[in-house]
Amino acid sequence: MEIINVSLPDGSVKQYPVGHTALQIAESISHSLAKRVLSALVDNEIWDATRPISKDCKLKLLTWEDDEGKATLWHSSAHLMAEAIEHLYPGVRFWVGPPVENGFYYDIDTGEEKITLNDLEVIEKKMMELVKQNHPYIRKEVSKKEAIEYFKDKKDPYKLDLLEKLNDGDITFYTQGSFTDLCRGPHVPDTGYIKGIKLLTVAGAYWKGDEKNKMLTRIYGISFPKENELKEFLHQLEEAKRRDHRKIGKDLAFFTFSENVGMGLALWLPRGTVVRYELEQFLRKIQNKNAYQPVVTPHIAQKQLYVISGHYEKYGKDSFQPIRTPQEDEEFFLKPMNCPHHCEIYRSLPRSYKDLPLRLAEFGTVYRYEQHGELHGLTRVRGFTQDDAHIFCTNEQVKGEFKKVIDIVLKVFEVFGFKDYVAQVSLRDMENKQKYIGKEEAWEKAEQSIIEAAQEKGLKTKIEYGEAAFYGPKLDFMVKDAIGRKWQLGTIQVDYNLPERFELEYTGADNQKHRPVMIHRAPFGSLERFIALLLEHTGGNLPVWISPQQVAVLAISEKFNLYAEKVVHLLSENNIRVLSDDRNEKIGKKIRESELMKIPFMLVIGEKEKENNLVSVRQHKVGDVGSMSVEEFIQHIKNIVENYQ
RNA sequence: GCCGUGUUAGCUCAGUGGCAGAGCAACUCACUCGUAAUGAGUAGGUCAGGGGUUCAAAUCCCCUACACGGCUCCA
């Protein structure tokens, strides 16, 4: 019998007979491992675990722990869903059904039928029924001719369209039960591997993503190799829902929207506004220390400004339309960004190399006409305030400035408890350099500077080629929040375009005119987005220093309201944000409501406290922490507030 | 913008062709209370807005506004 050498990830090489499958190899290692194998990486190609291996190879067994393993199960689940749908809705046509980051979907032309959210449960049930039958996924290599005939027979224009692009000899079918699909694979051995199934949502999706094409029905789902993993997932969904900033923002009275004001335009309520102010204050302090200079610019500007900046040409028709005036031909635009205004500030004086770096900072509110369907809570809005700053510097100073901005971003992460992040460096597409504006040497140097700055700051870095904007390379951070979701935060962007368009100059040591480099940066991105992220990250339990109400004074009965007022007064004098709940309600109720409002400290006040000038301190989510004098409490909370950084 | 689903009291939601509902919140009264909801009562509605079908519409149909999910993932 012929023998093949299989090298495993631990470096060992084992011999097996030709035609052994990954599954059999796993079985030879351990039975429990074999049960978990979903597919296998054979010489870096993903294979079915049941596909015979006939040559020496490197083998990695893929389980649920591997992304590729997950993808395999989800891909098989997509086929299973298609089979179930074909049973329930004979005659529907299928486009593609890939695994995605969190599950799978299938795009379906449902013809005359309509599949809605209400139908998902029935499809799920049918899927579970098919799971129990343990149908194997059978791989079959077919000729292009055979494949075309099969789908012609089935009158399936979609698969025929896919086949057009495929080469003969490269085509495989997978069949499980009664369903056969054109598919590269791989798949799990049989449907029994799919244990927990949840179909999540129905959506429309254009065929091939082109809005001129027909809209197909896309059904999203997710599946798991164990039922309790599904339960855990559903639990996490609940948790994410609970932490939804739109819900928390409403419950805690941070912000609201009004149909009369318009979609995507948040109204900040008093409590939310305090949070905004605290965030601004926090950054202002850091920026002052870092020699930023504050500026303020208007919310509108003449059309001319955006003609110069190029935004008029690029976004003119897809933006808020011009504001007209009694003056014929006069047009103003709402500002979609602060940079052009800041360029004008730069231009207002002759600049010397000695003035650089010039760092202009503004909490600038901008307006962008985001598409109707793009809007989402505070994360995608039509009016928002950027914690913007523009640094005008020489190309040589780019690296140093990046390092300083990285420090600020890392400070933000530290203070708000974002521990898991990766810096992403976006560079040019090296194959296609002509589409970028700016000088080759400048780009070269800036790209190098960013990489070095990130390295020297010890950042975990990922370099992405082709992700740079046409006007410059950038660095931004991908952070994970408390429940593991990824957010992009803290962009630092080099810009060669605007200095050019605004003809910005400085006089160098050589007495010649030079063009400065512009760096855009926004550690929070926008206050709206950052607060949304913060609410979801903390579940609404904000740090004390940023909480809109830090203390609630709760009198046990109306008899103690006078003393409560005195306590409120003492705390207020010490800049502690405090309110007294002087309603004629039971203490239990007052506590409950303060807890629900996530107020960090509650001071319970009754006979004992009044007699001895004490307060009984209850901490949010912790409970009663004992009593102390008012002065002690003031010191206690001041320590917490002042030591956040 | 496109597809789908929604919009009922301040909030959360029930009501699917035949009298507009509940809990919480609000207001009034009683209770003056010790660490997550005191009790009783009162008030609160253009059922998102507009049009249509019907003897009769929150309910069915059409239009509009707003909200939610998706529209990048290529067998």
Tell me the domain boundaries of chain A.
3-63, 71-239, 271-299+335-375+385-538, 549-642
Give the CA distances from residue A488 to residues A162, A259, A475, A491, A570, in Å, rounded to whole numbers and listed in that order.
35, 29, 11, 8, 42
Sign of the alpha-carbon dihedral angle for A496, A498, A502, A505: negative
What is the pLDDT at residue A564?
93
What is the pLDDT at residue A595?
93
Q: Is the CB of A608 under 7 A from strand B?
A: yes
A379 CA – B50 C1', rounded, Å: 32
Q: Could you say which DSSP state residue A548 is in?
A: S
CA distance A410 to A592: 36
H/E run at residue A361? strand A358-367
Please, which residues have CB within 8 angstroms of residue A157's CB and are 6 or more apart in sequence?
A: A93
Q: Listing from the earlier edge strand, what are the strands of the sheet with A179-182?
A: A138-141, A172-176, A179-182
Q: What is the pLDDT of residues A321-339, one digit of tens each?
A: 888 889 888 999 999 999 9
**What is the rounded average pLDDT of the residues A333-350?**
94
More confident position, A218 or A343:
A343
What is the pLDDT at residue A414?
93
- In terms of CATH architecture, what is A3-63? Roll (3.10)
- In terms of CATH architecture, what is A271-299+335-375+385-538? 2-Layer Sandwich (3.30)
Enumerate long-range contacts of A272-276, CB under 8 Å, 24 or more apart: A272/A531, A272/A548, A274/A548, A274/A577, A275/A531, A275/A542, A275/A546, A275/A547, A275/A548, A276/A385, A276/A527, A276/A531
**What is the rounded average pLDDT of the residues A413-432?**
89
A231 CA – B74 C1', rounded, Å: 31
* Cis check: omega of the bond before A136, within 30 degrees of 0: no
pLDDT band at A229 (very low <50, low <70, confident <90, very high): confident
Give the CA distances from residue A392 to residues A218, A441, A518, A526, in Å, rounded to whole numbers and listed in that order.
47, 18, 5, 21
pLDDT band at A119 (very low <50, low <70, confident <90, very high): confident
Paired sense of beta strands A358-367 and A293-294, if any: parallel
What is the pLDDT at residue A228?
87
- CA A373 to the chain's CA centroid: 17
pLDDT band at A579 (very low <50, low <70, confident <90, very high): very high
Q: Is the CB of A611 under 7 A from strand B?
A: no
What is the pLDDT at residue A493?
92
**What is the rounded average pLDDT of the residues A455-468?**
90
What is the pLDDT at residue A578?
95
A264 CA – B47 C1', rounded, Å: 26
Q: Residue A576: is its pLDDT beyond 80?
A: yes
Q: Is the CB of A90 under 7 A from strand B?
A: no
Q: Which residue in A109, A388, A481, A581 is the catalytic one? A: A388
Q: Residue A112: is its pLDDT beyond 80?
A: no
> Which of A7-21, A165-179, A200-214, A597-611 bottoms out in mean pLDDT, i.e. has the lowest?
A200-214
**What is the rounded average pLDDT of the residues A616-624?**
94
Q: What is the pLDDT of residues A246-258, one digit of tens each?
A: 999 999 999 998 8
**Structural tokens at position A606:** 């009754």
What is the pLDDT at residue A645?
59
Average pLDDT along chain A: 89
Q: What is the pLDDT of residues A495-526, one digit of tens each?
A: 988 999 999 999 999 999 999 999 999 999 99
- Diameter over CA atoms, chain A: 96
**What is the rounded average pLDDT of the residues A161-170?**
81
Q: Is the CB of A145 under 7 A from strand B?
A: no
Q: What is the end-to-end Cα distance of chain A in Å, rounded? A: 69
Q: Do the Cβ atoms of A173 and A156 come closer than 8 Å?
A: no
Q: At what angle do helices A157-164 and A144-153 cross, to 10 degrees?
A: 160
Give the CA distances from residue A340 to residues A112, A498, A639, in Å, rounded to whole numbers and listed in that order.
52, 8, 42
What is the pLDDT at residue A383?
92
Told to judge if A79 belongs to the known catalytic residues of this protein, a careful annotator would answer no
Q: Residue A317: is its pLDDT beyond 80?
A: no
CATH code that applies to domain A71-239 = 3.30.980.10
What is the pLDDT at residue A597?
93
CATH code that applies to domain A549-642 = 3.40.50.800
pLDDT band at A482 (very low <50, low <70, confident <90, very high): confident
Query: In terms of C-beta density within 10 A (0-12 exposed, 13-18 middle, 19 or more buried), how is residue A145 classed?
Result: exposed
Q: Is the CB of A172 under 7 A from strand B?
A: yes
Q: Do the Cβ atoms of A183 and A79 come closer than 8 Å?
A: yes
> Which of A85-94, A191-200, A309-318, A610-619 bottoms out in mean pLDDT, i.e. has the lowest?
A309-318
Q: Do the Cβ atoms of A159 and A182 come closer than 8 Å?
A: yes
What is the pLDDT at residue A290?
96
**What is the rounded average pLDDT of the residues A313-317?**
75
**Nearest DNA or RNA nucleotide to A557 (CA to C1'):** B32
Q: What percentage of chain A has pLDDT greater than the value 70? A: 99
H/E run at residue A141? strand A138-141
Please, which residues have CB within 8 angstroms of residue A161's CB and are 6 or more apart in sequence?
A: none
Residues 240-279 of A with CB under 7 A from strand B: 246, 250, 257, 259, 262-264
Q: Residue A598: is its pLDDT beyond 90?
A: yes
Told to judge if A569 belongs to the known catalytic residues of this protein, a careful annotator would answer no
pLDDT band at A1 (very low <50, low <70, confident <90, very high): low
Bridge partners (DSSP) listed for residue A35 = none
